[in-house]
Amino acid sequence: MADRYEPQTFEAKWQARWKAANLFETRQDPGRPKFYGLDFFPYPSGAGLSVGHCRNYIPTDVICRMKFMQGYNVLHPMGFDAFGLPAENEAIKNRTHPGPMIERYAENYRRQMELIGIGYDWSRSFRSSDPEYYQWTQWIFKVLLERGLAYQRMAAVNWDPVEKTVLADEEVIGGLGWRSGVPVEKRSIPQWFFKITDYAQRLIDDLDTVDWPEGIKQMQRNWIGRSEGVQFRMRVAMPHEEKSDEEFEIVERAPHFEVFTTRIDTVYGMTFCVLAPEHPSIETLEGFVDEAHRAEIRAYRENAKRLSDTDRQATTREKTGVFTGAYAINPANGERVPIWIADYVLMHYGTGAIMAVPAHDARDYEFAQKYGIPVQPVIGPAKGVSPETLPFESKDGFLVHSGEYSGLSVAEAQKELGQWFEACDLGTRKVQYKLRDWLISRQRYWGCPIPVIHSADGEIQPVPDEDLPVELPEVEHYEPSGDGSSPLAAIDEWVNITDQDGKLGRRETDTMGGFACSSWYFLRFCDPHNKRKGWDPAEVEYWMPVDCYVGGAEHAVMHLLYARFWTKVLYDAGLVPVQEPFQTLRNQGMVLAPTPFRAPREGETLGVGEEGIQITFEEAHSLPEDQVFHRYEKMSKSKGNVVTPDEIVEKYGADALRLYELFVAPFEQNVQWSNEAIHGQVRFLSRVFKLVDECRSAYDPLWRDAIDTGESSEAGKALRRLTHHTIRRATDDISGFAFNTYVAAMMEFLNGVRDVLKTTPASEIRAEASEMLETFVLLLAPAAPHSADELWDLLGMEGFTYQQDWPELDERWLARETVTIAVQVNGKLRDTLEMPTEADQATLERVALESERVRPHLEGKTLRKVIVVPGKLVNLVVG
RNA sequence: GCCCGGGUGGUGGAAUGGUAGACACAGCGGACUUAAAAUCCGCUGGCCGCAAGGCCGUGUGGGUUCGAGUCCCACCCUGGGCACCA
């Protein structure tokens, strides 16, 4: 019998036994509640898993294991997000084909997940690149198409010159491609979109129905960006040709335009208005202005077209614009205001035109200052008071210089002006969203083909269900063409087909971005091998929604928003019974690893936010110590700071790794990896083995019969209190994602047991010690399943801990006979008293006043007040 | 600039408004050992004190309260997200 933790001798053995017993195969017993625990769909990188990834999988595994022991039918699947740019790029770099490559990588991921003892039901696994899977991705695409939620249009898109593809807005970070890190360019090509904007309001509203981190919800709300305002028409007016410059007339033939504002209360302060350079009305407007203005407009628009989005949206950039020579009429007061064109107004938001109120908007103010446009304050901090400094952007104010609306608060004025604009048919109150439609087209090979045929007459036909999947053709060369077309377009024998009616047609050659594949995989896990349907409705009805969804916060907007959108579309189509896919969501913190840097040398410059030049570990060793410093960074292959579970399991064992990752910090918090602190877990497990080894001769499997009839000794009682106290803590902590305190509770359990056994050997309290041993092993099982099974076996028990019932709490043992009462004088602790639990207030007060440690602090003072919290403390207030 | 988190010993961290520092790591002392490792026992926030004990202490400054790491206000630092969205 091992009296210490020797993982090499048993971890592989138990993993093999679990596999042979199909232990984690999904159970669907009637009469049991269900629990669906899911991890984010991983892309299996060639670098394999790091201990950082494990921080996602281990906690979910702990919860799923406890839920199963508590009697739930647990669905805990794993599959691989194999399609998409990362896989294709890695394959190109390795000069191989993405298909077989990703298969190897996925196998390696699975090996590592098994190495750390994660209890997945592998019989349900799939890859998003399996034709049996993407057949149904294509089928869902058609559902969207039929419902008018998928469409193709020419679009200026984010073109990533390195990836040679189009990126979704969400994949452009600060004007740079999210993977390539280079500035994206504008290009105009036909693109497929999903109309997620139709669902904007529901995507906001239903966040209230799910248990997600508040920060993630807020990020989604911000991304969708709802704002309420008024949209109204500006009529164009030109100087009267035969009269003086001061007289104007409305030109009905001119292109009147609409503006959107959230600050209708400031409408009297409008001193100009601005059109985006791409605004379609400008072309007509040019016909009404003189030659000089026309030339300026054209020059400005040409220039704007050439600017990249990054340059245009750089916040440090000074605003630019041109006066058109035309004017518009402010409908609120009939005053004329000049019409400008400026690229700080964006065509894709609102109407692409704004009313500019420089007194109350920082951007308009900056522009007005630069071009000498008047500024008219209309909101002040108090009634009848003008603001002292401009711009005055606060909404906590009152209107001035606003006709009959002067004196109203901002809130009142927004309401009344909105009503007035609507009553006079000047405009309408409107809700705007920042969210834009989801660009799904990728001009790349390694993705799910869009199941559409373009017939010769230009019609778009979905591929019939019976012809799905549209399989990716096997090809030698799949590298992106670089001309904006998919490499699939070059495969004539695949592209050119005859449709059902015998007409010639061309297949759509774009593929879907990877986020499409991960927007429904959680449904497929409910019924992964269905050949006739994407899923059996009964299976999805049974398992959905996901009860516990765990992954990194970096998918806060993209994946989670898309998956919610698809679920809602499928709900509307009557295909799934839930409107939200993920009931509870939690984000694990990252594992950061020390990464070497050195100071820049002559001629080297640091980028924004950089503190040094990142170097390899080899280089760090070759440099003098004072030239190298370390920073904790996210683990990544490119930084060379990856710690793999393989090396940790090899050295310390899987259970020590699992415990360490659970214990090291709160679940949601980032942690700094250290190879040293893990020793504590090895030590803990060794002491557990030692305890079981010492006590097992006293172990009686029939302890239940003896324990409630027999009289307990003091030591026996202490042991039982400890046991049941820990059942409560472990159960609550695991349920509440407090894995660090769960492990701490187990350590305290061990320490407490050892204290009891110092005075009373286990053989004298056999029943209580047996209950303790069994409970200890079972409570430990979710976190350290290999050790738990080994210990279970050493106790002479049959089967796996996973199959045992979770220990049952007996609340009677939570009650204590005595409690420690804190005695304070003026809030400062002066003594602690061991008192019977049921001691009443008067008793506590009396004993507190008698305390020898307390009395010196009362001398010469008057007792003014006594606070007694039974079971807790006595506070004597003196003065 | 706006929206979220977070600042507690040498380190990771614990603490329903009620004994701050649980549980660990590291360190120090001791036992065992020829020795080391491993293991076991003890100490370990700062200052004063031989001790008993006292004073200070949860980023800073105020406030509420009998009592504040926890609640409120202002500020500083830090991590993340968004960013010309009218």
Q: Which residues contact A481 (CB under 8 A, 6 or more apart)?
A: A164, A443, A487, A489, A490
Q: Is the CB of A174 under 7 A from strand B?
A: yes
The residue among A707 and A41 whose pLDDT is bigger is A41
Which of chain A's residues 783-822 bind strand B, using a 7 Å CB cutoff?
820, 822
Which of chain A's residues 204-233 bind strand B, using a 7 Å CB cutoff?
214-215, 218-219, 222-223, 225, 227, 229
Q: Is the CB of A496 under 7 A from strand B?
A: no
Taking C1' of B20 and every protein CA, the nearest residue is A829
Nucleotide nearest A432 (Cα, C1')? B85
- For residue A657, the model assigns a pLDDT of 96
Phi, psi at A192, each rounded to 5° = -90, 140
Half-sphere exposure of residue A5, counting CA atoms within 13 Å on the CB side? Answer: 24
Which of chain A's residues 538-557 bind strand B, using a 7 Å CB cutoff?
553-554, 556-557
Phi, psi at A328, each rounded to 5° = -130, 160
Q: How far apart are CA A683 and CA A449, in angstroms?
A: 53
Bridge partner list, A73 = A34
- For residue A308, the model assigns a pLDDT of 63
CA A404 to C1' B74 (Å) is: 38
- Kindly state the average pLDDT of the residues A42-55: 94
Q: Is the CB of A677 under 7 A from strand B?
A: yes
Instruction: Please name the amino acid found at residue A59.
Output: P
Whole-Å CA distances, A306 to A119, A153, A299, A340 = 55, 22, 11, 19
- Kindly state the average pLDDT of the residues A774-779: 98
- For residue A310, the model assigns a pLDDT of 63
CA A510 to C1' B70 (Å) is: 55
Q: Is the CB of A664 under 7 A from strand B?
A: yes
CA A611 to C1' B69 (Å) is: 33
With helix as H, strand as E and coil as C, how does A529-567 read?
A: CCCCCCCCHHHHHHHCCECEEEECHHHCCHHHHHHHHHH
Whole-Å CA distances, A118 to A9, A735, A785, A866, A868 = 19, 18, 9, 55, 50
Residue A539 corresponds to which tokens in the numbers above? 């299976």
- Kindly state the average pLDDT of the residues A605-616: 66
Q: Is the CB of A263 under 7 A from strand B?
A: yes
- For residue A556, the model assigns a pLDDT of 84
- Kindly state the average pLDDT of the residues A562-582: 97
DSSP A39-102: E------TT---HHHHHHHHHHHHHHHHHHHTT-EEE----B---SHHHHHHHHHTTS-HHHHH
- For residue A862, the model assigns a pLDDT of 86
Residue A804 corresponds to which tokens in the numbers above? 């045992």
Q: Is the CB of A284 under 7 A from strand B?
A: no
- Kindly state the average pLDDT of the residues A22-37: 96
- For residue A186, the model assigns a pLDDT of 74
Which strand (E) or helix (H) includes residue A438?
strand A438-439
Nearest 5 degrees, angle CA A823-CA A824-CA A826?
160
Q: How far apart are CA A281 and CA A55, in angstroms?
A: 55
pLDDT at residue A713 greater than cutoff 90: no
Per the omega criterion (within 30 degrees of 0), is the bond before A100 cis?
A: no
Q: Is the CB of A738 under 7 A from strand B?
A: yes
Q: How far apart are CA A249 and CA A54, in angstroms?
A: 71
Residue A254 binned pLDDT confidence (cut-offs 50, 70, 90):
confident
- For residue A710, the model assigns a pLDDT of 65
Half-sphere exposure of residue A672, counting CA atoms within 13 Å on the CB side? Answer: 6
CA A47 to C1' B3 (Å) is: 35
Cα four-point dihedral sign A826, A830, A832, A833: negative
Q: Are A289 and A323 in contact (CB under 8 A)?
A: no
The alpha helices in A580-636, defined as continuous H runs, are 617-622
pLDDT in tens, A164-173: 777 766 677 7
% of residues, chain A, pLDDT over 70: 95
The residue among A163 and A81 whose pLDDT is bigger is A81
DSSP A467-498: G---PPPP-S-----SSSS-GGGG-HHHHEEE
Tell which residue, A528, A518, A609, A607, has the closest CA to residue A558.
Answer: A518
Q: Which residues contact A54 (CB under 8 A, 6 or more apart)?
A: A116, A645, A657, A658, A661
Instruction: Please name the amino acid found at residue A172.
Output: V
CA A672 to C1' B61 (Å) is: 33
The residue among A196 and A246 whose pLDDT is bigger is A196
- For residue A655, the model assigns a pLDDT of 97
Pairing of strands A226-239, A321-329: antiparallel
Q: Which residues contact A259 (CB under 8 A, 6 or more apart)?
A: A231, A232, A234, A273, A350, A351, A353, A354, A355
Instruction: Please name the amino acid found at residue A480.
Output: P
Q: Is the CB of A349 under 7 A from strand B?
A: yes
pLDDT at residue A766 greater than cutoff 70: yes
Q: How far apart are CA A300 and CA A283, in angstroms?
A: 13
- For residue A606, the model assigns a pLDDT of 60
Q: How far apart are CA A593 and CA A525, in angstroms?
A: 34
- Kindly state the average pLDDT of the residues A520-530: 98
Q: Is the CB of A834 under 7 A from strand B?
A: no
Residue A209 binned pLDDT confidence (cut-offs 50, 70, 90):
very high
Q: How far apart are CA A176 and CA A160, in angstroms?
A: 8
Q: Is the CB of A686 under 7 A from strand B?
A: yes
- For residue A244, the model assigns a pLDDT of 56
Q: Is the CB of A828 under 7 A from strand B?
A: yes
% of residues, chain A, pLDDT over 90: 66
Region of residue A657 (phi > 0: left; psi between -120 and 50: alpha; otherwise: beta): alpha
- For residue A194, the model assigns a pLDDT of 96
pLDDT in tens, A281-332: 999 999 888 899 999 999 999 888 777 666 676 666 789 999 999 999 999 9
Nearest 5 degrees, angle CA A520-CA A525-CA A527?
110
pLDDT at residue A174 greater than cutoff 90: no
pLDDT at residue A1 greater than cutoff 70: no
- Kindly state the average pLDDT of the residues A651-678: 93
CA A415 to C1' B85 (Å) is: 22
> Look-up: residue for tokens 């239940």?
A704
Of the candidate ranges A199-213, A243-257, A724-738, A852-866, the one whose mean pLDDT is the lowest: A243-257
Mean pLDDT of chain A: 90
Tell which residue, A643, A477, A547, has the closest CA to residue A211.
Answer: A547
- Compute, in degrees rounded to 10, the torsion defined by CA atoms A517, A521, A524, A528: 90
- Kindly state the average pLDDT of the residues A451-466: 90
Q: How far apart are CA A723 and CA A559, in angstroms?
A: 43
pLDDT at residue A732 greater than cutoff 90: yes
Residues for chain A: how many in total?
A: 879
Which strand (E) or helix (H) includes residue A742?
helix A739-759
- For residue A242, the model assigns a pLDDT of 58
Of the candidate ranges A289-303, A470-484, A504-518, A604-618, the one whose mean pLDDT is the lowest: A604-618
- Kindly state the average pLDDT of the residues A801-817: 92
Which of chain A's residues 63-102 bind strand B, using a 7 Å CB cutoff?
none
DSSP A819-863: EEEEEEETTEEEEEEEEETT--HHHHHHHHHH-TTTGGGTTT--E
Q: Is the CB of A392 under 7 A from strand B?
A: no
DSSP A174-226: TTEETTT-SB-EEEEEEEEEE-GGGGHHHHHHGGGGSB--HHHHHHHHHHHTE
Using only C-alpha atoms, chain A has a radius of gyration, in whole angstroms, of: 35
Cα four-point dihedral sign A506, A509, A510, A515: positive
Residue A271 binned pLDDT confidence (cut-offs 50, 70, 90):
very high
Strand B nucleotides within a 7 Å radius of protein CB atoms: 3-5, 12-16, 18-20, 22-26, 38-41, 53-55, 66-68, 79-86
The residue among A778 and A160 whose pLDDT is bigger is A778
- For residue A481, the model assigns a pLDDT of 73
Residue A183 binned pLDDT confidence (cut-offs 50, 70, 90):
confident
Residue A213 corresponds to which tokens in the numbers above? 């981190």
pLDDT in tens, A366-394: 999 999 999 999 999 888 888 888 889 88
Bridge partner list, A152 = A192
Give the highest mean pLDDT range of A139-143, A247-251, A325-329, A474-478.
Answer: A139-143
pLDDT at residue A241 greater than cutoff 70: no
DSSP A507-520: E---EE-HHHHTTS
- Kindly state the average pLDDT of the residues A719-729: 95
* Burial classification of residue A100, based on how many CB atoms lie within 10 Å of its CB (0-12 exposed, 13-18 middle, 19 or more buried): exposed
